[in-house]
Structure formats: C-alpha cells, structure tokens
Amino acid sequence: MASKKVTERVVKLRELLAHHAHRYYTLDAPEISDSAYDALYHELKELETKYPELRSSDSVTARVIGGIMPELKKVRHKVPQWSFNDAFTEEEIRAFDARVKKVSGRDATYDLELKIDGLKIVFTYEKGALVTAATRGDGVIGEDVTHNVRTIREVPQQLKRSVDLIVEGEVYLTRSGFKKLNSEREKAALPLFANPRNAAAGSIRQLDPAIAAARPLGAFIYDVAETSEESPKTQTEELTYIEELGLPVNPEHRYAETLDDVFTYWKEWNGSKREKADYQLDGVVLKVDSRAQQEVLGYTGKAPRFAIAYKFPPEQVQTTVLDITLQVGRTGKLTPVAHLKPVGVAGTTVARATLHNEDFIKEKDIRIGDTVILQKAGDIIPEIVAVVKELREKNAKPWQFPTHSPLCGGDGSIERIPGEAAHRCKVAGSFDQQSRKLVHFAGKHALDIDGMGKETVKLLMEQKLVSNFDDIFELTKDELLALEGFEELKAQNLMHGIAASREVPLDRLLIGLSIPHVGVETAYLLATHFETLTDLARAKEAELSQIEGIGPIIGKAAADWFKDADNKALLARLKKHLAIKKVAPPKRGSLTGKSVVITGTLPTLSREEAEARVRQAGGKVSSSVSAKTSFVVAGEAAGSKLADAERLTVEVIDESAFLKRLRS
C-alpha cells in the first residue's frame, strides 16, 4: 500500500510532467532537457508499477501527449497515432526483447532506424494524391499543416501509383541547411536561428507557407498506417514499399537478427557517424520486423509494444561560469542562474543555465570562474552536470546565496523557505515590482524597445527567459517563437526593437535603471555633467550633490545606487550589450532659464520630441506646474495641469506659439 508521501509524489510528478509535455509537444518550447524529463518520467513509471493502485488513465505514462495550436485547422486522425517508449541502457533493451518474446511466444528480429529529431507528420494520399498532412497532436486530433508540407521538395504531391495511403514520417531541418539558412540571414543582417528542431517545427506550424518554403526542410517516411493495396509482411519490406511509391525513406536503416547487431548499430551511430550525419539524431528506433508479430504484440494506451526508442546520451561540452545571478518567480521564489561563456551544444548557442537552488550549487560546488561540463539533451534548457575542479583558479570562492537582492521589494531582504531548499523575497509582490521595472526600462522615456510591453515582459519572466535588464539582450528569435502567442512577425519585430535599443543615450539609460529619485530631468542633468557612465559611477556623493538641479537627496541616492555590488555587476553585464552615447550639454538659447511643462496631445510633436526641443533651447522641463513654471504648452486632453496653470495664472500656449518661441 502506497504511503501518503509516495501518493503525493506521484501526483506532483504527473502535474510536472504534464506541464513539461505541454511545453514540448504543443508549444515547441521545452523548459527542461530530454534527460531531465526522462528521469522524472521513469521515476513516475516505477512508482506506478510498484503501486498499481496509483495508476491512472490520465497519467502521462498511459496516454499520448501532445496538443494543437488554436490558429490551425483540426484534423481527426483516421488511424490513432502513438509515441515510443524510451530505453537508455543495454539492460533496458534486453528487458524489452524479453517482453517481446514472452508476449509473442517467439524470438524476434528487428528493423533498426535512426530517430530523427524533428516533427512527426501524418500524410494522407487519396488515389495517389496528397490531400492532408497533419501533426500528431494528442494522437487523436492533430493540426492541418498541408499548406506548409507541400513546400517540401522531398514530399511528392502525387505517388507513382493511384493508391489510398496513410503514412507517417518526420519533417526536419538538415544541419547543412541550418548552416546555410543562418549564413543567408547573417548577410541580410537578420537575427540568427539557434535551434534547428524548433526552427523546423515552427516553420511547419506557421499560417504562412512562404515561411516554410524559404527554409531548407526535409522529410523521411518510416511507417505505413493504412493502404488500399496489399500490406507488406515485414517492416523492412514496408520501407521498400514506401520507397517504390516515390516517398523519401532514410537509407540508413538496418536489419538486425540479434541484440548484438542492435548494440553494434547503436554504437556506430552514437560515435563518429552521428557527427557526420546531415540531420540531428537522438537515438535509434527498434521495430519488430514481422508485421504478424507486431499485431500479436499490439499497443499499450500510448505506445506500441513492438517498438522502442533507444536514446543516445545527451551531448556534453565545456564552458566557463562568468557570473551567477538570481531570477524572481511569480510567487517571489528566487532561482540562481549561471551566466556562461557562450557555447554551441546540440545545435543551440547556450549562454545561461538554471542552477535550481542553493543546495544544488553546494552539492556540485559551482563557483564563478569555474570550468564546467554542460549537457543539453533538450532544445532550450541546459544543465551543469559537473565542475572540472582541476582547472579551477586558486582564488575562486564558494558562492553564497545573498541575503538581499534588488529583485526583491522593500529593503530587498531574502529568506530561505522553511523545510525547502528554495529562497524567496520576504516582501510579497516582488515579481510584479520587477516586471514594472523591466517595463519601465523598455518604455518610451528609457530604451524605447518596441514590442516589449507589460504582458510580454510578464510572459518572458514566467518562462524564465528574462529577469533583469541585461537578459533582454540575450533573447533569441527561436526562444520567442517557442512562446505561446509569438508568431514570426511578432518575434521579428521584438528582435528588431531590441537591436535598435542597443545604441542608447546615457540619459535614457539612466532613466531606465530605476535609480531612486532620478527621472527624466535629473537623468539629463547627470548625463550632461559627466562624459561617460564610468565617470558618473565613480563620482562621490559630494560631487553629485553640488550639481545644479541635483542636490543632496538625489546625490546620495545616485551615489548609493552606483556603490551597490549588485548594481555594479548589472552595469558590467549591460556594457557588453550596449553602445552608450554621450549626451551634449545644453546650449544657451531662446528658453535659457525657463521652466516648461508639456501636457496633453500636441498636433505634430510627441511629448518626448517637445521636451527635447525645450532642452535644446536651454530650458528645463518640469513634470508639474508651480509658481516657478515659465509657461505651459498644452494640447488636447491637457487635464489637471492645465487647471493648475489657470489657478496659478501661469501662461498657457499651444504648439504653434511654442515653435515660434523656439525660433525667436
């Protein structure tokens, strides 16, 4: 009988796996590596096997996991679609072979096929003509992607015979095609793709077929689900049959009489052959060769009993930990993140890795500056598996979880959650506070990043892609396309907006940093007083306080902000991404000595443009009306500031009069 603790564990595992399955199959945006998902999956399966009373028909171990995009037409599969169970060791393959013999009553031979890392597609032909191409979806209902599949050259629109046929296969992006695609995009000054699998899946699941047509996609067909002709007797003959009809078949399949043949083939492709292949591979698929034996074996609720995927181990590389920072979650939970020297792994350039919690860091003894082993079995989230301590610098210090963070509200205090390995901000609402800071940083008065509004910022934070200002500049287009609601144009616009913001005037950067008491005018005063950001950061409180218009309160706040260790580290990271432009000091002009308020919507000038004109003419822009205000420039819907001006008998003029004064 399962204990309460085991039961709770099973429930949590199901919820976690369902979440990650949705991220992987429906959104093409996994949050954890394949190896991490597989480990959780196997733990759940073992618990359900040990405690049969905990089994459930809605568990991820008992059904096909997948989903569809609401924008695409739904297709109900005539033949149910399945997924493969996985194996990772020779022992698991031997156990699979033993089950096959036990259920079917005789020994089996196998057809071995490479497991291409792409997107499964179901192709339907009527009288030899392609009528439908659909994603697997949840095994019952998929997405109609015929319009995109028709752009793939290898997929025939008409078979060599007039046959009714349903076949299954994989659409992928070749390695050479991926390299060529990125080369073309680099020449066109477009953001590069980092991930061939998600690029392929994203291409096929677009509404516009021109996107798929422009990308080097390929396809392999590997299974006949239904045919109006006589069915082949073996899987080997089935592949020959598919090829005879004019469909593309991967030529590297092999017939295996013994398990030794299986292991030899697997080892060959897990070595040099895998690196030379022009497509990404993540394993070998074993299929019982005899169709009659396959029918005896049948299916479980989610997978065939006659086939299994023998997975390759995840790819591993070396890189360096440049820094460790924190991310804040919606509940205020803080997650440490390693910023890495960028490295290519499994087709993706990786620059950061989640470190989970303080205990994980201590267990692996990860320190800033360490050389680490990084593995990445999935498409998005890498993991640090070990530290190469022999290469550690002598002065490397153990990383300590901070007691305070600028990501947290109030005084920034952090506490460890009782009974857990996790830390959190003491002040509730820290996630919302940080999201507001990021929105402000990307706003019109600061870096003015087009496409990065409130909802986008929250989505990026929830998906652990952005937590601090510098994270924005490490985003890739593929990461955006993997998010729900991000189609090609939206992702491209945001990437262009980020690129345009990389060159920023010093005053607008200061506005975006959310330094206490530093608004538009004070940022302008600081930026025009100092040549560079470095000069400003080195300035003492006394020097800052003596600047006209700054004073002791703002001077102390700015000095304290620049002295903070976290802020110093943040600026160092930002400098790697930004070209900070010098701001010219104000000249004497028609508005020298004048204090001006801009309010309402002007006919031709934006608020920002009007304020810039005031400064160029030597004037000062104020956010509120007082007795010291020289005049107010009012447009439509001026509101309370117009009322304040009338009450204080401050002069009010329109845009036309304002422009005349600038010229005078």
Q: What HEC string does 556-612 produce?
A: HHHHHHHHCHHHHHHHHHHHCCCEEECCCCCCCCCCCCCEEEEECECCCCCHHHHHH
Please tell me whether residue 485 adopts helix, strand or coil conformation.
coil
Q: Is the dihedral of CA 642, 646, 651, 653 positive or negative?
A: positive
Q: Is 389 a catalytic residue?
A: no
Return the closest-CA partner of residue 63 out of 112, 14, 129, 113: 14
CA dist list (Å): 648 to 386, 627, 639, 643, 645: 69, 6, 15, 9, 5
Output b/e per residue, 518-546; b: 16+ Cβ within 10 A: bebbbbbbbbbbbeebeebbebebeebbe
Helix H or strand E encompassing 211: helix 209-213
What is the CB neighbour count within 10 angstroms for residue 405?
20
CA separation for the pair 458, 470 (Å, rounded): 16
Q: Identity (one letter) of the amino acid at 361?
A: I
Place of tokens 């009988």: 1
What is the CB neighbour count within 10 angstroms for residue 305?
18
Return the closest-CA partner of residue 376 out of 358, 399, 352: 352
Return the closest-CA partner of residue 314 out of 369, 381, 252: 381
Q: Which residues contact 545 (CB under 8 A, 6 or more apart)?
A: 551, 552, 554, 555, 556
User: Beta strand pairing status for 595-599 and 620-621?
Assistant: parallel
CA separation for the pair 360, 438 (Å, rounded): 28
Q: What angle do CA 624, 628, 633 make, to 5 degrees?
A: 55
User: Beta strand pairing status for 414-416 and 423-425?
Assistant: antiparallel
Residues facing 317 on adjacent strands: 374
Return the closest-CA partner of residue 145 out of 198, 217, 209: 209
CA atoms within 13 A on the CB side of 237: 9
CA separation for the pair 74, 427 (Å, rounded): 45
Which of 115, 120, 287, 477 is flagged as catalytic?
Answer: 115
CA separation for the pair 144, 68 (Å, rounded): 9
CA separation for the pair 150, 283 (Å, rounded): 28
CA dist list (Å): 264 to 33, 238, 288, 557: 26, 23, 17, 68
CA separation for the pair 137, 74 (Å, rounded): 9
User: Beta strand pairing status for 620-621 and 651-653?
Assistant: unpaired
CA dist list (Å): 377 to 48, 142, 315, 642: 25, 26, 6, 61
> Do residues 81 and 137 touch, judged by C-beta distance below 8 A?
yes
Place of tokens 């929250």: 458
Q: Which residues are catalytic?
A: 115
